[in-house]
Structure 1
Amino acid sequence: MNGISIKYFVITIASIFVALGVGILIGFSVNSEKFVQKQFQQQLILIDKNLVELKKENDRLLKEIDEYKTQINQLGKINDTLVNAYLKTCKSNAVVSLIVTSTDYSYNDLIDFLRKNQIKLARIVKVKKSFIDVLNNKTNAISEYNPHEDMIASLALYTTFNIENSTLVKLIENRYIETNRLSGEIADTILIAGGNTLQNDTFNAVDRKVIEKLRNINDLNVIGVEQSYSEINYCEKYKSMGLDTVDNVDELTGKVSLVELIRGGNGNYGTKKEANFLMPNAFTSIDVSENSLKKRRESLLEQFKRLQSSNAMQ
């Protein structure tokens, strides 16, 4: 009897504690849910405030961007006006020939720019990949009869003096070079337009040899150019050979720099590591430019006469 009473008592007490535990758990769950809901609502209010602030900041930034775009457009118009005024004021009577040694990039935009600004183009010579193969000894279809030095010399003489010999004729006939003769005048300025992709570095095979031959012509103005996006910096190599250079001839500042070099200025301009300045900070006067051009032409004419006499004696 006593054992049964004690057992009943223990079960009763345990039931009481279980009931208390369940009640506490239910109460805690209800309070927790209210707490979570309250916190969630507070976070939503905070996020909403932040979104409002972010929208205000975004609107402010968009307004600033529009203002900057307007300023950029205005600066672009001012730059165009100044460049056009410079080109009209600082015209050059130089006669220019262009040798395109790059087989990866086109220089048609440069040719259009020169023509548009009434810079006299005498001749345009474009080197073809087949000619590079000849110079790299990958084929000897013509080199058996014409040493490399003779072929490069013929190209230099034609580009500068408009002298055509049998070697040059063979180069054209075999489509190793493409020529466009616009006038028969002596060119006092030669532009070497290079630059290639990383897989096609032909500087030593072509550019170096052509420049060496051109540098043998006294008082000839030789300028090295390339576009800003050229993978290989040929202007760095041109500079090492003593040439004036423009490494961003596709850009407005590069075009101004090029015109200044054609007029007789000096320097290495552009955006790459070999450049000393982005563009000239002083411009050659018209008198100085014309006097320099006159001396250059007189010297080149004398050399041309000697070449003619030498050819006549042969």
Structure 2
Amino acid sequence: MLDFKYHITSIVAVFLALALGILLGSVIVDKGIIAEQQQALINSVKADVKQIQEENRSLKKELDDANQLQGGIFPLVVQERLSQKNIVFISSSLVSDTLKETLSESVEKAGAKSLHIRISAISVLDDPKKKSRLASFFPEENLSDDELKSKLIEEIAVELATPSNKTLLKELIDLEILEMKGDGSLPANGFVFIGADLSKFDPEIIDLPLIGKLKEFGLPLVAVEVEKVSNSSIPLYQNAGISTVDNVDALSGRVSLVYTLRGVFGNFGVKPSAEKLLPIGISK
């Protein structure tokens, strides 16, 4: 009886060992297959990455070539379009030196000279001494702050757009209300208002009232801003009835700037407020 039980136990043990061997063998085989599949996947990914890198290098070269070509074409497109003109850039917010250089270079390639003017908010009217100095330019008495500000903006427009002794401009510079830099001279032949994110400045304080006065002289007026702006100021300038360029930091925007200063009217750029990208077909 013991021998029979031992025999049965031995047979069961053999089958269990066999089953365990089959299981372990399957796992080992499966692991081998998985490892092969993993290696194949890694090789495939490496090949894809290499192909993408090659494509990126090719696209970068094409982009560099295109930028170089466009850079060479720009002077030909705008050549002499603003010959012997004086263009004044006006800002009431901070403008980066890079953007100033881009704007100046754009009109200079077209044959113009540029002058950058920054007008700070006329909050200095709160200073009695400065207010008195500014009020002395006008014979009227008892001007309110709003009336004095209106008179100042009107006189600024006159001195920028017509031959004059620039007395007020010199006083504003002395009072550190106005900054003026560049190789251009006055009177100007065209004006460019540099807009910015509406969270950083309000064009209704200086820009729009000054535009209203400058429009009386019949000179080209353009408002510009860079392409990447969270809260565009362009619609406000459009409501003032002047041309706009909403991507002046791009090559197409620089071309549009030159042509709007030539007298082409329109709203150009890439934002929803633009009518078209470029003043295509304009011969001015």
For this structure pair, what is the TM-score category when the shorter chain's length is used for normalisation?
0.7 to 0.9
- Following superposition, the deviation at residue 21 of structure 1 comes to 5.5
Q: Distance in 2 between matches of 1:26 and 1:161?
A: 107
Instruction: Determine which of 127, 130, 133 is the counterpart of 2:123.
Output: 133
Q: 1:111 aligns with which of 83, 100, 104?
A: 104
Which shows bigger deviation, 44-53 or 219-228? 44-53
Distance (whole Å) between structure 2 residues aligned to residue 207 and residue 154 of structure 1 = 14
- 8 Å contact from structure 2 (residues 267, 276) kept in 1: yes
Paired letter, 2:195: G
Q: Structure 1 residue 74 and structure 2 residue 75: aligned?
A: no
User: Is structure 2 residue 204 aligned with structure 1 residue 213?
Assistant: no
How far apart, in 2, do the equivalents of 1:169 and 1:177 lie? 9
Q: Map 1:1-314 onto structure 2 (within 5 A).
A: 23-88=14-79, 90-103=81-94, 105-106=96-97, 107-109=99-101, 110-121=103-114, 123-128=115-120, 131-134=121-124, 139-141=126-128, 142-143=130-131, 146=135, 147-164=148-165, 167-180=168-181, 182=183, 184-196=185-197, 198=199, 200-215=200-215, 217-285=216-284
Do the aligned residues in 2 keep the contact of 1:104 with 1:196 (CA within 8 Å)? no
Higher relative contact order (CA 8 A, sep 6+): 2
Distance of aligned partners of 1:185 and 1:173 in 2 relative to their CA distance in 1, 3 Å threshold: closer
Between Structure 1 and Structure 2, the one with more helix by share is: 1
Note the aligned Cα RMSD (angstroms): 2.9
Q: Is the 8 A contact 2:90 2:119 kept in 1?
A: yes
Identity %: 19
Structure 1, 35-44 or 179-188: larger mean CA deviation: 179-188
- Larger Rg computed on CA atoms: 1
> Secondary structure at 1:220's aligned position in 2?
coil
TM-score scaled to structure 2, two decimals? 0.80
Indicate conservation of the 8 Å contact 2:161/2:217, yes or no: no
**Aligned positions, number:** 268
Q: Which amino acid aligns with 1:246?
A: V
What is the TM-score with the length of structure 1 in the denominator?
A: 0.73
* Closer/same/farther in 2, CA of residues 23 and 183 from structure 1, 3 Å limit: closer
**Deviation for aligned residue 1:196:** 3.5
Deviation, structure 1 residue 255: 0.9
CA distance in 2, matches of 1:162, 1:228: 35
> Equivalent residue of 1:203, what SS?
coil
User: Please, which runs of 5 or more residues in structure 1 have no aligned partner?
Assistant: 1-8, 286-314
